[in-house]
Protein backbone atom coordinates (compact mmCIF):
# COMPACT_ATOMS: atom_id res chain seq x y z
CA UNK A 1 0.00 0.00 0.00
CA UNK A 2 1.16 3.50 -0.72
CA UNK A 3 1.55 6.12 2.00
CA UNK A 4 2.56 9.76 2.14
CA UNK A 5 4.37 11.54 4.93
CA UNK A 6 4.55 15.30 5.35
CA UNK A 7 7.06 16.12 8.04
CA UNK A 8 6.05 19.66 8.90
CA UNK A 9 2.59 20.06 10.37
CA UNK A 10 2.74 23.79 10.88
CA UNK A 11 5.26 26.20 9.39
CA UNK A 12 5.41 29.89 10.27
CA UNK A 13 7.46 32.23 8.08
CA UNK A 14 7.89 35.93 7.54
CA UNK A 15 7.25 37.42 4.12
CA UNK A 16 10.16 37.02 1.69
CA UNK A 17 11.48 33.97 3.52
CA UNK A 18 12.19 30.84 1.51
CA UNK A 19 9.94 27.84 1.86
CA UNK A 20 10.53 24.13 1.64
CA UNK A 21 7.85 21.63 2.64
CA UNK A 22 8.85 18.00 2.86
CA UNK A 23 6.95 15.11 1.32
CA UNK A 24 8.02 11.49 1.28
CA UNK A 25 6.09 8.55 -0.04
CA UNK A 26 6.39 4.84 0.25
CA UNK A 27 5.79 2.85 -2.90
CA UNK A 28 8.33 0.97 -4.95
CA UNK A 29 6.78 1.36 -8.39
CA UNK A 30 6.07 4.22 -10.75
CA UNK A 31 4.20 7.09 -9.14
CA UNK A 32 2.51 10.30 -10.08
CA UNK A 33 2.89 13.09 -7.56
CA UNK A 34 0.82 16.14 -6.73
CA UNK A 35 0.78 19.13 -4.45
CA UNK A 36 -2.62 20.62 -3.67
CA UNK A 37 -3.31 23.84 -1.78
CA UNK A 38 -6.32 24.91 0.24
CA UNK A 39 -6.49 28.66 0.91
CA UNK A 40 -8.64 29.77 3.86
CA UNK A 41 -12.30 29.42 2.96
CA UNK A 42 -11.55 28.06 -0.50
CA UNK A 43 -11.63 24.68 -2.14
CA UNK A 44 -8.69 22.34 -2.51
CA UNK A 45 -6.91 23.03 -5.80
CA UNK A 46 -3.94 21.70 -7.73
CA UNK A 47 -0.65 23.55 -7.25
CA UNK A 48 1.56 21.35 -9.42
CA UNK A 49 2.04 17.78 -10.56
CA UNK A 50 4.72 15.37 -11.71
CA UNK A 51 3.98 12.54 -14.11
CA UNK A 52 7.25 12.03 -15.99
CA UNK A 53 10.13 13.88 -17.59
CA UNK A 54 11.99 16.74 -15.91
CA UNK A 55 11.94 16.00 -12.17
CA UNK A 56 11.82 19.73 -11.39
CA UNK A 57 8.27 20.88 -11.99
CA UNK A 58 6.92 24.37 -11.79
CA UNK A 59 3.44 25.24 -10.68
CA UNK A 60 1.31 28.28 -10.15
CA UNK A 61 2.27 31.32 -8.06
CA UNK A 62 6.02 30.66 -8.20
CA UNK A 63 5.95 27.25 -6.55
CA UNK A 64 8.14 24.38 -7.71
CA UNK A 65 8.78 20.83 -6.56
CA UNK A 66 11.55 18.37 -7.19
CA UNK A 67 11.03 14.66 -7.56
CA UNK A 68 14.01 12.70 -6.20
CA UNK A 69 13.31 9.07 -6.94
CA UNK A 70 16.18 7.71 -4.85
CA UNK A 71 14.85 9.52 -1.80
CA UNK A 72 11.16 8.88 -2.50
CA UNK A 73 10.66 12.60 -2.05
CA UNK A 74 8.71 15.39 -3.72
CA UNK A 75 9.47 18.53 -1.71
CA UNK A 76 7.69 21.79 -2.42
CA UNK A 77 9.69 25.01 -2.61
CA UNK A 78 9.20 28.72 -3.10
CA UNK A 79 12.12 31.17 -2.95
CA UNK A 80 10.15 34.05 -1.42
CA UNK A 81 6.76 33.58 0.22
CA UNK A 82 4.01 36.14 0.40
CA UNK A 83 1.29 36.70 2.97
CA UNK A 84 -1.21 35.36 0.41
CA UNK A 85 0.56 31.97 0.49
CA UNK A 86 -0.96 31.32 3.90
CA UNK A 87 -2.83 28.05 3.34
CA UNK A 88 -2.81 24.34 3.94
CA UNK A 89 -0.67 22.29 1.57
CA UNK A 90 -1.24 18.61 0.76
CA UNK A 91 1.09 16.22 -0.97
CA UNK A 92 -0.55 13.30 -2.79
CA UNK A 93 0.71 10.22 -4.57
CA UNK A 94 -0.97 8.06 -7.14
CA UNK A 95 0.61 4.73 -7.95
CA UNK A 96 0.43 4.16 -11.69
CA UNK A 97 -0.06 0.43 -11.47
CA UNK A 98 -3.11 0.60 -9.25
CA UNK A 99 -6.48 2.21 -9.72
CA UNK A 100 -5.35 5.36 -11.46
CA UNK A 101 -8.01 7.39 -9.76
CA UNK A 102 -6.95 6.61 -6.22
CA UNK A 103 -4.66 9.20 -4.67
CA UNK A 104 -3.25 8.93 -1.18
CA UNK A 105 -2.90 12.26 0.61
CA UNK A 106 -0.50 13.33 3.32
CA UNK A 107 -1.68 14.89 6.58
CA UNK A 108 -1.17 18.38 5.25
CA UNK A 109 1.08 21.26 6.30
CA UNK A 110 -0.38 24.52 7.50
CA UNK A 111 1.70 27.47 6.33
CA UNK A 112 1.28 30.81 8.06
CA UNK A 113 3.09 33.77 6.52
CA UNK A 114 3.43 36.84 8.72
CA UNK A 115 3.24 40.18 6.94
CA UNK B 1 -15.31 28.62 -10.16
CA UNK B 2 -14.06 25.09 -9.74
CA UNK B 3 -16.43 23.27 -12.05
CA UNK B 4 -17.42 21.04 -9.14
CA UNK B 5 -20.34 22.18 -7.03
CA UNK B 6 -21.64 20.75 -3.79
CA UNK B 7 -24.88 21.29 -1.94
CA UNK B 8 -25.62 22.04 0.76
CA UNK B 9 -22.54 23.89 1.96
CA UNK B 10 -23.51 23.43 5.59
CA UNK B 11 -25.68 20.77 7.18
CA UNK B 12 -26.66 20.12 10.76
CA UNK B 13 -28.48 16.88 11.41
CA UNK B 14 -29.53 14.74 14.33
CA UNK B 15 -28.45 11.14 14.67
CA UNK B 16 -31.85 9.85 13.58
CA UNK B 17 -32.16 12.04 10.50
CA UNK B 18 -31.73 11.05 6.86
CA UNK B 19 -30.13 13.54 4.54
CA UNK B 20 -28.25 13.56 1.24
CA UNK B 21 -25.22 15.45 -0.04
CA UNK B 22 -25.11 16.34 -3.71
CA UNK B 23 -22.17 16.87 -6.01
CA UNK B 24 -22.19 17.95 -9.63
CA UNK B 25 -19.27 18.36 -11.99
CA UNK B 26 -19.31 20.38 -15.21
CA UNK B 27 -15.88 19.33 -16.45
CA UNK B 28 -16.71 16.30 -18.59
CA UNK B 29 -14.89 13.96 -16.22
CA UNK B 30 -15.75 10.29 -15.87
CA UNK B 31 -14.53 9.63 -12.34
CA UNK B 32 -15.94 11.05 -9.12
CA UNK B 33 -14.87 10.72 -5.50
CA UNK B 34 -16.07 11.31 -1.96
CA UNK B 35 -13.53 12.28 0.70
CA UNK B 36 -13.88 12.98 4.41
CA UNK B 37 -11.73 15.76 5.87
CA UNK B 38 -11.59 15.87 9.66
CA UNK B 39 -9.55 18.18 11.84
CA UNK B 40 -6.05 16.87 12.50
CA UNK B 41 -6.53 13.88 10.18
CA UNK B 42 -5.44 13.28 6.60
CA UNK B 43 -7.91 13.42 3.78
CA UNK B 44 -9.74 10.07 3.78
CA UNK B 45 -10.93 8.59 0.51
CA UNK B 46 -14.40 7.11 0.96
CA UNK B 47 -15.72 6.10 -2.46
CA UNK B 48 -14.60 6.16 -6.08
CA UNK B 49 -16.83 5.92 -9.12
CA UNK B 50 -15.52 5.39 -12.65
CA UNK B 51 -18.05 5.63 -15.46
CA UNK B 52 -20.84 5.41 -12.84
CA UNK B 53 -19.48 2.15 -11.43
CA UNK B 54 -18.22 2.05 -7.87
CA UNK B 55 -14.60 0.92 -7.92
CA UNK B 56 -13.56 1.73 -4.39
CA UNK B 57 -15.21 1.52 -1.00
CA UNK B 58 -12.65 2.27 1.64
CA UNK B 59 -14.25 0.32 4.49
CA UNK B 60 -16.85 3.00 4.94
CA UNK B 61 -19.69 2.25 7.39
CA UNK B 62 -23.02 1.43 5.81
CA UNK B 63 -24.62 4.55 7.28
CA UNK B 64 -22.95 6.28 4.31
CA UNK B 65 -24.49 5.22 1.01
CA UNK B 66 -23.21 6.65 -2.29
CA UNK B 67 -25.15 6.94 -5.50
CA UNK B 68 -23.87 7.88 -8.94
CA UNK B 69 -26.75 8.09 -11.44
CA UNK B 70 -24.52 9.45 -14.21
CA UNK B 71 -20.96 10.64 -14.65
CA UNK B 72 -21.86 14.21 -13.74
CA UNK B 73 -23.69 13.63 -10.49
CA UNK B 74 -22.75 12.01 -7.22
CA UNK B 75 -24.76 11.70 -4.04
CA UNK B 76 -23.92 10.65 -0.52
CA UNK B 77 -26.94 9.47 1.43
CA UNK B 78 -26.63 9.74 5.19
CA UNK B 79 -28.63 7.98 7.89
CA UNK B 80 -28.23 7.31 11.60
CA UNK B 81 -24.93 9.13 11.72
CA UNK B 82 -22.75 9.49 14.80
CA UNK B 83 -21.22 12.68 16.22
CA UNK B 84 -17.77 11.50 15.09
CA UNK B 85 -19.03 11.69 11.50
CA UNK B 86 -18.99 15.47 11.78
CA UNK B 87 -16.46 16.66 9.20
CA UNK B 88 -16.02 18.39 5.87
CA UNK B 89 -17.13 16.10 3.04
CA UNK B 90 -15.39 16.82 -0.22
CA UNK B 91 -16.38 15.72 -3.68
CA UNK B 92 -13.83 15.56 -6.48
CA UNK B 93 -13.77 14.56 -10.11
CA UNK B 94 -11.13 13.68 -12.68
CA UNK B 95 -10.59 12.06 -16.01
CA UNK B 96 -9.91 8.36 -15.79
CA UNK B 97 -8.38 6.02 -18.32
CA UNK B 98 -6.88 2.66 -17.43
CA UNK B 99 -3.22 3.02 -16.62
CA UNK B 100 -3.32 6.81 -16.70
CA UNK B 101 -3.31 9.29 -13.87
CA UNK B 102 -4.96 12.68 -13.69
CA UNK B 103 -5.28 15.43 -11.15
CA UNK B 104 -8.49 15.80 -9.22
CA UNK B 105 -10.74 18.83 -9.11
CA UNK B 106 -12.42 19.44 -5.79
CA UNK B 107 -15.67 21.02 -4.77
CA UNK B 108 -15.99 23.45 -1.85
CA UNK B 109 -17.24 20.75 0.49
CA UNK B 110 -20.21 20.28 2.76
CA UNK B 111 -19.56 21.05 6.44
CA UNK B 112 -21.57 18.40 8.29
CA UNK B 113 -22.35 18.60 11.97
CA UNK B 114 -24.07 15.66 13.65
CA UNK B 115 -25.77 16.54 16.92
Tens digit of each residue's pLDDT (9 = 90 or more) over A46-55: 999 998 899 9
pLDDT of A62 reads 95
CA-based nearest distance A74→chain B, Å: 16
Higher pLDDT: B95 or A17? It is A17
% of chain B at pLDDT higher than 90: 69
Number of Cα atoms under 13 Å in the Cβ half of residue B52:
5
CA-based nearest distance B99→chain A, Å: 6
Among the partner-chain residues A96, A101, A106, the one whose CB lies closest to the CB of B96 is A101
pLDDT at B56 over 90: no
Task: Band the pLDDT of A82: cuts 50, 70, 90.
Answer: very high
Which phi and psi angles does A61 have, rounded to 5°?
60, 30
Higher pLDDT: A80 or A103? It is A80
Please report residues of A whose CB lies closer than 8 A to that of B98.
100
pLDDT of A96 reads 63
- Chain B residues bordering chain A (beta-carbon distance below 8 Å): 2, 4, 31, 33, 41-43, 45, 48, 50, 55-56, 90, 92, 94, 96-109
Q: Which residue of A has its CA nearest to B51?
A: A101
pLDDT at B1 over 90: no
What's the whole-number mean pLDDT along residues A2-30? 92
Higher pLDDT: B42 or A91? It is A91
Contact at 8 Å (CB) between A90 and A96?
no
Task: Band the pLDDT of A8: cuts 50, 70, 90.
Answer: confident
Q: Is the dihedral of CA B37, B112, A44, B30 positive or negative?
A: positive
CA-based nearest distance B79→chain A, Å: 26
Interface contact B104-A103, CB threshold 8 A: yes
What's the whole-number mean pLDDT along residues B55-68? 88
Can you give the C-alpha Rg of chain B in angstroms? 13
CA-based nearest distance B70→chain A, Å: 17
Class of residue A69 by CB neighbours under 10 A (exposed 0-12, middle 13-18, buried 19+): exposed
Among the partner-chain residues B2, B33, B99, the one whose CB lies closest to the CB of A100 is B99
Name the 3-class secondary structure at A8. Answer: coil
Please write the tens of the pLDDT for every residue from B9-51: 999 999 988 999 999 999 999 899 999 999 878 889 999 888 7
pLDDT at A66 over 90: yes
pLDDT at B85 over 90: yes
CA-based nearest distance B92→chain A, Å: 9
Interstrand relation of B110-114 and B10-13 (parallel, antiparallel or unpaired): parallel
Please report residues of B whose CB lies closer than 8 A to that of A108.
42-43
Interface contact B99-A96, CB threshold 8 A: yes
pLDDT of A94 reads 85
DSSP letter at A15 equals T
Interface contact B31-A101, CB threshold 8 A: yes
pLDDT of A98 reads 55
Amino acid sequence: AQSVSQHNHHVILSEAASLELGCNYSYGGTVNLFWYVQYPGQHLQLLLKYFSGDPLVKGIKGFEAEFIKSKFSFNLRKPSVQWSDTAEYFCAVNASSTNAGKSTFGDGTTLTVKP
Amino acid sequence: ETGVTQTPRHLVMGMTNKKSLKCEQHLGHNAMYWYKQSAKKPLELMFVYNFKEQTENNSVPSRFSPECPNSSHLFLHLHTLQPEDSALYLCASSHHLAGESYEQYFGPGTRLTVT
